Structure formats: C-alpha cells, structure tokens
Amino acid sequence: MNYGLHEQLELHEIASFKTICMTKSKTMQALVSDETLRQLLADDVLVSTRQLQELSSLLAKANS
C-alpha cells in the first residue's frame, strides 16, 4: 500500500508526539510519590512503547 506524503508526515507527527508523551511519563515516574499514579505512568509507558512500535512499522511500510 502506498501512502501519500501528507499521510507519511501525519504518521511522523503522531510518532513524535507519542515519543514526547512517553518521555514525560518516564520522567514523572521518578518524581511522583503516589504509588497509584506511578503505576499509571508505568502503564502509559508500556502502551506508548507498543504504539510507537506499530507506528514505526507503518512508517517503514510507507517509505518502501
């Protein structure tokens, strides 16, 4: 499947945003004292990692 340039750029923009969100969650984990919040942040990191892997495969397909 061929993606248009605008679609490739949108995928890249989403990947960049998810990377920033994941970085913030990882950083905040070390700073929060509430265990429930820390677990939510850890869960967010796991989900974001999976989503970034999926976006990476979509970007690889788009560039081929």
Q: What is the 3-state secondary structure (H, E, C) of the chain?
A: CCCCHHHHHHHHHHHHHHHHHHHHHHHHHCCCCCHHHHHHHHHHHHHHHHHHHHHHHHHHHHHC
Which band of pLDDT confidence, cut at 50, 70 and 90, is reported for residue 1? low
What integer pLDDT is reported at residue 64 of this predicted model? 72
What integer pLDDT is reported at residue 16 of this predicted model? 96
pLDDT > 90? residue 2: no
What is d(CA 24, CA 52) in angstroms, rounded to the nearest whole number? 15
Amino acid at residue number 16: S
What is d(CA 18, CA 30) in angstroms, rounded to the nearest whole number? 19
Q: What is the pLDDT of residues 6-61, one digit of tens each?
A: 999 999 999 999 999 999 999 999 999 999 999 999 999 999 999 999 999 998 88
What integer pLDDT is reported at residue 53 of this predicted model? 97
